[in-house]
A and B are shown apart, each in its own frame.
Chain A
Amino acid sequence: KQEVTQIPAALSVPEGENLVLNCSFTDSAIYNLQWFRQDPGKGLTSLLLIQSSQREQTSGRLNASLDKSSGRSTLYIAASQPGDSATYLCAVRTSGTYKYIFGTGTRLKVLA
């Protein structure tokens, strides 16, 4: 059974710092992994999707990496800004299944 873990649960950093959010999963046979952002009381916004055949994806100041063999993904945020404050969720779709399994998220606060 696929399990997804995100550590830390919460993170507070000063503005301008580069930071890394971690996601680990137990079953390496995956279709893809998706990173989402959720603002309080809002839906989820897709940030990056990494296919199982890819090692990383980049969008602006965000870079997500995938290491299937070790069951890990990281989301790197460069030059963090107060507007980056949100909860970041990773979700994994295991091969042969219909659904994503979500981690519980990392709540990020970037201090001005």
Chain B
Amino acid sequence: DGGITQSPKYLFRKEGQNVTLSCEQNLNHDAMYWYRQDPGQGLRLIYYSQIVNDFQKGDIAEGYSVSREKKESFPLTVTSAQKNPTAFYLCASSFPVTGENYGYTFGSGTRLTVV
């Protein structure tokens, strides 16, 4: 079955440490996205990528980095520069952004906690 796989499900980060969240999809989608979800707030876009080897900052990119070396994969690194990283991180994918027919498919999320 096609879908999006996020790993790990739970992640603990020590102060000053970089951690990487994995997102893999086998839906043949071109575009991939990272969102952050905090209690009481809507989802906020961190980074997105429309094509391999290209990505753009979203609304809250500071303290995060991404890469898109393969169509199927879009890993997110939470760096030590991100001062408040505790949150639920969601990865999504879709077909090209220009079509009105296309919506998002989401992964099951990674909960990151600073210890």
Q: Which residues of A contact B (CB under 8 A)?
A: 4, 31-32, 34, 36, 41-46, 49, 51-53, 89, 91, 97-105
30 contacts between A and B (CB under 8 A): A31-B99, A31-B100, A32-B101, A32-B102, A34-B103, A41-B88, A41-B111, A43-B6, A43-B106, A43-B109, A44-B90, A44-B106, A45-B106, A46-B105, A46-B106, A49-B103, A52-B100, A53-B100, A91-B104, A97-B97, A98-B31, A98-B48, A99-B33, A99-B45, A99-B48, A101-B42, A102-B42, A103-B42, A104-B42, A105-B42
- In the complex, B2 has a CB within 8 A of chain A: no
Chain A neighbourhood of B6, CB < 8 A:
43
Q: How many B residues touch A, CB cutoff 8 Å?
A: 28
Q: For the complex, what is the distance from the CA of A9 to the CA of B99, rounded to whole Å? A: 31
Chain A proximity mask over B87-115: 1 for CB below 8 Å, otherwise 0: 01010100001011111111111010000
Instruction: Contacts A42-B109, A101-B42 known; list 13 others, CB within 8 Å.
Output: A32-B100, A36-B106, A43-B106, A43-B109, A44-B104, A46-B103, A46-B105, A89-B42, A91-B104, A100-B104, A102-B42, A104-B40, A104-B41
Shortest beta-carbon distance from B29 to chain A in Å = 13
